[in-house]
Amino acid sequence: METEHKNLLRQAVVPSVMLAAMWLVWGAEWLSGSDFSTLGIFPRKFSGLWGILISPFIHGDLGHISSNSIPILVLGIALFSFYHKIAGQVLFILWIGTGIGVWIIARPSYHIGASGVVYSLVFFIFFSGVFRRETRAIALALIVALLYGSSLWGIFPIQEGVSWESHLLGACTGIVTAFYFRKKGPEKKKYDWENEPDEDSDQDETEPWNYKSLFPPPEGFGYPEK
């Protein structure tokens, strides 16, 4: 039990640091009365490239950061729990890939918030389960679909003032990344009974095949010794 708690704490480190950084930035913005939105991604402007790295930490208001906080924590822990060997690579690709896509394609406006990363995590986890066809990955994909299935509508331009491009490009980045890493991740669990020898078999699987037991020599004769 103690080991499980330690593993959970270790898997929660990166998502927790991300969440803390988001709230620290928002708190600094609120206390200083500043507007950090100009540090976000501004498509096709070189000055907007910095936003690829820092825009997920910048949020417009309390409602904006609150809506992204729980998904970042929950999905981040899920990523580092089930895909711990590749979680760092995956998160980096999702983060940077989504930001680059926004910088290339999105409307000429400042794009801020962690929702692009959230969408990329949702779609990566779901489609990774679909592509890999592994029981635990599929179960995790179904949980994600139940919890965040309604977020699908966010990829369409139906709400003014929302960067639906970040959502759409995050979703696309998540799907492509899931396909790229389809052969990596949680391995299929092998149960003990799968390794047990067949009780109906008289042949000991640990011993090599013995042709003498199948074809005994006639009485008075014997096989030459090696």
**Confidence at 191, pLDDT banded by 50, 70, 90:** very low
The string of pLDDT tens digits covering residues 32-90 is 999 999 999 999 999 999 999 999 999 999 999 999 999 999 999 999 999 989 999 99
Virtual CA dihedral for 179, 184, 188, 190, nearest 10 degrees?
A: 160
User: pLDDT at residue 188 above 80?
Assistant: no
Taking the C-alpha atoms of residue 60 and residue 195, their distance in angstroms, rounded to an integer, is 56
Q: Which residues are registered as beta bridge partners of 41?
A: 111
Instruction: Give the per-residue pLDDT at 9.
Output: 80
Q: What percent of the chain has pLDDT over 70?
A: 79
SS (H, E, C) 86-128: CHHHHHHHHHHHHHHHHHHHCCCCCECCCHHHHHHHHHHHHHH
User: pLDDT at residue 209 above 50?
Assistant: no
**Confidence at 161, pLDDT banded by 50, 70, 90:** confident
The mean-pLDDT minimum among 62-66, 98-102, 147-151 falls in 147-151
User: pLDDT at residue 107 above 80?
Assistant: yes
Taking the C-alpha atoms of residue 115 and residue 65, their distance in angstroms, rounded to an integer, is 9
**Confidence at 197, pLDDT banded by 50, 70, 90:** low
Inter-residue contact 108 to 44 (CB < 8 Å)? yes
Residue 91 to residues 15, 66, 121, 136, Cα–Cα distance (Å): 10, 21, 8, 20
Taking the C-alpha atoms of residue 181 and residue 97, their distance in angstroms, rounded to an integer, is 15
Taking the C-alpha atoms of residue 14 and residue 36, their distance in angstroms, rounded to an integer, is 23
Q: Which two tokens stand for residue 119?
A: 């969408």
Taking the C-alpha atoms of residue 63 and residue 73, their distance in angstroms, rounded to an integer, is 16
Instruction: Give the per-residue pLDDT at 194.
Output: 47
**Confidence at 2, pLDDT banded by 50, 70, 90:** low
Taking the C-alpha atoms of residue 74 and residue 159, their distance in angstroms, rounded to an integer, is 25
Residues 6+ apart with CB under 8 A from 77: 8, 11, 12, 15
Taking the C-alpha atoms of residue 119 and residue 67, their distance in angstroms, rounded to an integer, is 12
Inter-residue contact 119 to 154 (CB < 8 Å)? yes
**Confidence at 160, pLDDT banded by 50, 70, 90:** confident
